[in-house]
Every structure is written in C-alpha cells, then in structure tokens.
C-alpha cells in the first residue's frame, strides 16, 4: 500500500513500530490472556499504523499503545469462546511484577481497558460485587455487609455479573468515574489497602451511579 507524500517514510514507521512492539504485545496479552490473540491484535495495529497519516502523530508510542488497547478491548467484547470477558482477577496479575515507567503504563492500559468493559456492561452493584469477589476474593458475607444486602443476594449478583459480561450491553461510561475507579483499584492491588476502593464501590452501588 502506498504512503501519503506527507507521511514520514515507511522504513522509519517500521523502525518505530518495531521498537514499540514488545510493549504492544504486553498490552494485548494482559487484556486477552492469549498469546495468539495478542499477536493478531499487534498485527492489526501494524496495519492501522501503515494506513495512518503519521505526519500528524505527535507521540507514536502513545498512539500505538492506545490503538492496541482499543483493538484488544474490541476483541474481548466480541469473544464468546469463554462466554465471559476478562475477569477482574486479571487486574491483580496486571499490577504485579517489575517496575518502571513502561511497565506502569502497560499495567494502567490493561486495567483501564477492562474497567471500561465492566462499567459498560454491569450495574454499579453488580460491578462492586464482581470486583470484590473476583478481584480480591472477598467472601460473600463481607460483600453483603459493605453493600447492605443479604448474602444470598450477593451470590445472585455475582452470577448476574458473569452473565452481563457475556452480553452486548454498552452503557455510557463517565470518564471521571472511570479514572477514580482505576486509581482506586491500582492502589488497592499495589498496597493491599482496600479501604478507598471499598468506599468508592459501596457508594456507587448504593447510589446506583
């Protein structure tokens, strides 16, 4: 495919992509948890990078990371072989491991992508139940106390959440609310202090927002 005359040369674009590729693979894998699927997503990102007007891209690395995250999230939404989107427990995997700016960016990309999915498909009370149960292995009794519900109800909510994640539902996501939830989850996973996350989830569930 020919490149626009205004674009940087394709050999330069290839070099930029090659340098970003390990990070892109890590992002796609953290969302999809499948090496083959991750490779496919990165290949799609490469095709989009070729077709993009690269002369207007100020930060190629950020552009490629965002493109890969969106492609992986779309693939997760369409996946039906597991009958469920990526579970909250994978968030914990995403925040474990090494340190450094690049690793931190990859972790945040993965967490934000799946948080978006949960906010689109689950009600606030379902989301709270699912995150606490699947993300941090909370007992149903503790979840019931936080959400002021009966234990049997929290079990039902967990089942409904799993079904909801396999649906095509897509509710609007408030960007500020998503940012607060991502920050609270990352902090809880890093430090083990879940007080802020508990408060945020409970308040949202009780308000229904």
Length of the chain: 209
CA distances to 10, 120, 204 from 159, in Å: 49, 17, 19
For 13-60, write each residue's pLDDT tens digit: 888 999 999 989 888 887 777 788 889 999 999 999 988 888 888 888
Q: How far apart are CA 205 and CA 9, in angstroms?
A: 51
Contact 28, 38 (CB under 8 A): yes
- Residue 132: phi and psi, rounded to 5, are -70, -40
pLDDT at 176 over 90: yes
Helix runs in the chain, H state only? 10-32, 35-51, 60-78, 89-95, 101-121, 124-130, 136, 140-147, 151-165, 175-191, 195-207
Contact 95, 107 (CB under 8 A): yes
* Eight-class DSSP state of 56: G
Domain ranges for the chain, please list them: 1-79, 87-209
Q: How far apart are CA 110 and CA 68, in angstroms?
A: 10
pTM recorded for the entire structure: 0.58
Interaxial angle between packed helices 175-191 and 101-121, expressed in degrees from 0 to 180 and rounded to the nearest 10: 120
Q: How far apart are CA 164 and CA 3, in angstroms?
A: 43
| 147 alpha-carbon distance from chain centroid | 24
Q: How far apart are CA 204 and CA 184, in angstroms?
A: 13
Q: How far apart are CA 142 and CA 106, in angstroms?
A: 31
Burial of 198 (0-12, 13-18, 19+ CB in 10 A): buried
For 67-107, write each residue's pLDDT tens digit: 888 788 777 666 544 444 444 445 545 444 455 566 667 77
The tokens describing 52, both together, are: 């993009």
Q: What is the CATH number of domain 1-79?
A: 1.10.1740.10
Q: How far apart are CA 198 and CA 135, in angstroms?
A: 12
For 155-167, write each residue's pLDDT tens digit: 999 999 988 887 7
For 126-163, write each residue's pLDDT tens digit: 999 998 888 777 889 999 999 999 999 999 999 999 88
């Amino acid at each position: 495919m020919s490149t626009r005359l205004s674009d940087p040369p394709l050999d330069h674009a290839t070099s930029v992509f090659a340098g970003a590729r390990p990070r892109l693979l890590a992002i796609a894998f953290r969302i999809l948890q499948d090496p083959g699927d991750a490779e496919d997503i990165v290949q799609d990102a490469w095709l989009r990078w070729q077709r993009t007007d690269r002369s207007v891209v100020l930060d190629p690395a950020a552009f490629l990371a965002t493109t890969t995250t969106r492609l992986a999230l779309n693939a997760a939404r369409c996946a039906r072989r597991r009958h469920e989107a990526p579970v909250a427990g994978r968030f914990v995997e995403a925040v474990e491991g090494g340190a450094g700016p690049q690793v931190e960016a990859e972790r945040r990309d993965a967490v934000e992508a799946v948080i978006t999915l949960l906010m689109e498909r689950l009600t606030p009370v379902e989301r709270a139940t699912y995150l606490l149960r699947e993300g941090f292995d909370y007992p149903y009794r503790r979840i019931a106390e936080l959400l002021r519900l009966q234990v049997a109800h929290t079990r039902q909510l967990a089942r409904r959440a799993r079904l909801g994640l396999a649906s095509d539902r897509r509710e609007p996501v408030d960007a500020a609310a998503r940012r607060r939830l991502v920050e609270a989850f990352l902090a809880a996973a890093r430090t083990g202090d879940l007080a802020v996350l508990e408060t945020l989830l409970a308040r949202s569930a009780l308000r229904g927002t």
